[in-house]
Amino acid sequence: MTEKTIGIIGGGQLGRMLAMAAARLNFRTLILEPQVDCPAAHVASEQIVAAYDDPAALAELARRCDVVTYEFENVPVHAAEKLAADVDVYPPPKALEMAQDRLTEKRFINGCGIPTARFHAIDSQADLEAALADFGGQGVLKTRRLGYDGKGQRVYRSTADSPEGGYAALGGVPLILESFVSFDREISIIAARGFDGAVACYDPAENVHRDGILHTSTLPAGISEQTAVAAREAADRILTALGYVGVIGIEFFALSDGSLIANEMAPRVHNSGHWTEAACVISQFEQHIRAVAGLPLGNPQRHSACVMTNLIGDDILALPEWLSLDDTLVHLYGKSEARPGRKMGHVTQLLR
């Protein structure tokens, strides 16, 4: 079981934290990432410097790894499928396919019996105008693919927001218009499924975004036990439907009546699960490594209330203050330049 090699596609901070967790369990890690000196390269065993869909690099990954996983959901599906013919790839490429396109994702989630916002596919300005009319002039227009951290989105709050030029403004690519959800709060659940079908869910986190980027995750979330159970059940259904192996992050809007509307899922470890490294014995990163390596899942129980805060751009200047706090775990990503909007690290304060 020891000295096996886990391949990780993507070398950002999530790959870095996966590599750290893997090392503790005696796994070697081989990162596939085109950027040299990436966050994961500092802690992984080795890096292949090549594009994510480079055929020679994928062949090398298959040859040298016992299992391959990924740290971001935009790994080209054809590359993941090709790789899966030669080596075990977890989570299954089908999960990538379902998560990469917001339209496919919503249809899949609805197919699992889980509500989402209402939606229309938008392929022209006429589609946009008809869909907005259907939603009373309100809605959130999003690119179907490659959107993240609120990028590639436009909000229509009322009929006073003119739809004119809306389709072209997002680049003339396939879009989706979602009905506007008046939510009470945003929550997410981090869940894992093992080889044997066992599912382990962490407690749902309550998330606050700033400028479309996650700012804080707080535990416990201000939701009822019934709402928490609904989040767990939704995660269980999604994981089972995908024959999933690994950790997934699923985001929801919680309404004032306690019901949940699923927003999106990420077939990977998730920013809103970073708190698990401080407030649980087994972090989401170790859980993912355990799952993809075929080891038993760890107990996801939380031992403390906590709040995780992302350090974005210049937030990193407050590092001395964070380091001086008790019960506070600081985690930095090894990025030298603090550009605006760039995730530089995070801190988790245990509340006790």
Picking from 51, 46, 178, 50, the residue whose alpha carbon sits closest to that of residue 121 is 178
The residue (of 38 and 189) whose beta carbon lies closer to ligand AMP is 189
Is 147 annotated as belonging to a binding site? yes
Is 290 annotated as belonging to a binding site? no
CB of 138 to ligand AMP, least distance (A): 9
First to last CA, the chain: 38
Angle at Cα 261 formed by Cα 120 and Cα 205, nearest 5°? 135
Is 212 annotated as belonging to a binding site? no
In this structure, what token pair is assigned to residue 36? Answer: 């040299």
Q: Considering only 178-186, 270-278, 280-288, 299-307, which stretch makes contact with ligand AMP by CB under 6 A?
A: 178-186
How are beta strands 67-70 and 88-89 bridged, if at all? parallel
* Position 101 contacts ligand AMP (CB under 6 A): no
* Position 210 contacts ligand AMP (CB under 6 A): no
CA distance 255 to 320: 38
What is the contact mask toward ligand AMP in residues 307 to 326, using x (rule: CB under 6 A)?
--------------------
Judged by CB under 6 A, the chain residues 238 through 257 that form the site for ligand AMP are 251
Whether residue 278 contacts residue 348, with contact meaning beta carbons closer than 8 Å, is answered with: yes
Residue 165's CB is within 10 A of a number of other CB atoms, namely 10
Which element (helix H / strand E) includes 168? Answer: helix 166-169
* Position 178 contacts ligand AMP (CB under 6 A): yes
The residue (of 22 and 99) whose beta carbon lies closer to ligand AMP is 99
CA distance 291 to 246: 5
Q: Considering only 71-79, 161-169, 175-183, 319-327, which stretch makes contact with ligand AMP by CB under 6 A?
A: 175-183
CB of 47 to ligand AMP, least distance (A): 29
Is 180 annotated as belonging to a binding site? yes
CB of 144 to ligand AMP, least distance (A): 11
Picking from 272, 267, 262, 232, the residue whose alpha carbon sits closest to that of residue 246 is 267
* Position 157 contacts ligand AMP (CB under 6 A): no
- Count of positions (residues) in the chain: 352
CA distance 135 to 296: 46
* Position 263 contacts ligand AMP (CB under 6 A): yes
Binding residues for ATP: 102, 142, 147-153, 178-181, 186, 209, 263-264
Which residues would be at the binding site for ligand AMP (CB under 6 A)? Answer: 117, 140, 147, 150, 178, 180-181, 186, 209, 212, 251, 263-264
